[in-house]
Chain A
Amino acid sequence: MITVLLLMSAGIIIGWIFHSKEKFLKATGYLTNWAIYALLFMLGLSVGTNEKILNNFGKIGFQAITLTLFAVIGSILFAWLTYTLFFKKR
């Protein structure tokens, strides 16, 4: 996990240095998409061979959506409080 964090930090510095090199950025954007596609395909592969997940897909999906609703409602209410206290013009 530390490797992951170090790699991202290194990327941020390199991106900052080369932020005006359009071609370089276009290439990294393109590669980023394909890295995501490859990873999600591989996640799909391991899900497709995992019976425990396949048999419980409905239950897992329901949990995921419920969790999101709580996350979104919590963040919206907290942001609403911050907006009312610090941002709204009286």
Chain B
Amino acid sequence: MKGSLIILAFFVVGILAGFYKILPEQLLQNDYSLYALYLLMFLVGIGVGSNKNAINLIKEVNFKIVLVPVSIILGTFIGVSIFSLIQDNLSLLESLAVGSGFGYYSLSSVLITEVSGETLGVIALLSNITREIVTLLLTPVFARYFGKLAPIASGGATAMDTTLPIITKYIGSDYAIISVFSGVVLTILVPFLIAIIL
């Protein structure tokens, strides 16, 4: 939660700095974000590859555990498709791309901004932050009424790190492996799905 607040603070300070034109024009005209994005993607890869839980997981992979991220992707896409039908601001593909963030707001917002511009990038940021916050707040409710996989589903990509502690608290540590597995798979798929959809 603290991490999300710091990130959000940088975003808000950026908005204010842009709005009040605090920074010199030159800095605004040069687009450094693409290089920062390249660096981030490389670092995210290192983080996933070196995750000790993720390495141990390879031994645990079986048909049932693979079903978890698959269900989350299908469920998310069905839900988001229904959303795209009931409003006419976002197209189906735009909605699917935002949904493909699975709560990984820092990465999805930047990638989507790079491909489709700032408006959809901001939607991705707010939408995926909301997904993390909803999971942190409602995990007890989800676990109680919709089974032990529900908090993992709601957490999406964040089920491997930021929402993992609260998830395992309510569904038990025997489900921690499934939570990390699902989170790792979704984290890796975020950039691929966004690239395919947009």
State the A residues within 8 Å of B (CB). 1-5, 7-19, 25, 28-29, 31-33, 35-50, 52-54, 59-61, 63-84, 86-88
- The reply to whether B79 and A73 contact each other, CB–CB distance below 8 Å, is yes
Q: Would you give the 0/1 interface string for B58-91, flagging 1 where the beta carbon is closer than 8 Å to chain A?
A: 0000001001100110111111101100010110
Docked complex Cα distance between A54 and B41 (Å): 28
Task: Tell me which of A11, A36, A63, A80 contacts B146 (CB under 8 A).
Answer: A80
With A35-B43, A43-B110 as contacts: A79 and B131 at CB distance below 8 Å: no
Contact B79 A71 (CB under 8 A): yes
Given A10-B42, A72-B154, A84-B147, verify A79-B127 contact (CB < 8 Å). no
CB distance from B87 to the nearest CB of A (A): 7
Measured CA separation A80–B55 after assembly (Å): 27
Is A81 a contact partner of B45 (Cβ separation < 8 A)?
no
- Establish whether residues B149 and A8, one from each chain, have CB atoms under 8 Å apart when the complex forms: no
A45-B14, A68-B131, A75-B71 known; A11-B45 Cβ under 8 A? yes
The answer to whether A74 touches B41 (Cβ under 8 A) is: no
- Whether B83 lies near A67 (C-beta < 8 A) is yes
Number of A-B contacts (CB under 8 A): 288
- Having A44-B13, A64-B130, A67-B83, one finds 15 other A-B pairs with CB under 8 Å, namely A8-B48, A8-B191, A15-B46, A19-B49, A39-B110, A40-B7, A61-B126, A64-B125, A66-B83, A67-B123, A69-B134, A74-B76, A75-B75, A76-B75, A79-B72
How many residues of B sit at the interface, in one of the four size bands?
A: 35 or more
How far does the alpha carbon of A43 sit from the alpha carbon of B110 in the complex, in Å? Answer: 7
Give A66 Cβ to nearest chain B Cβ, in Å.
Answer: 6
A-B residue pairs in contact (CB < 8 Å), sample of 30: A4-B41, A7-B38, A8-B41, A11-B49, A14-B46, A15-B47, A15-B48, A28-B47, A31-B39, A37-B7, A38-B36, A43-B110, A43-B121, A44-B14, A47-B11, A47-B14, A48-B18, A50-B18, A67-B83, A70-B82, A72-B154, A74-B76, A74-B80, A75-B75, A75-B79, A77-B146, A79-B71, A82-B149, A84-B147, A87-B147
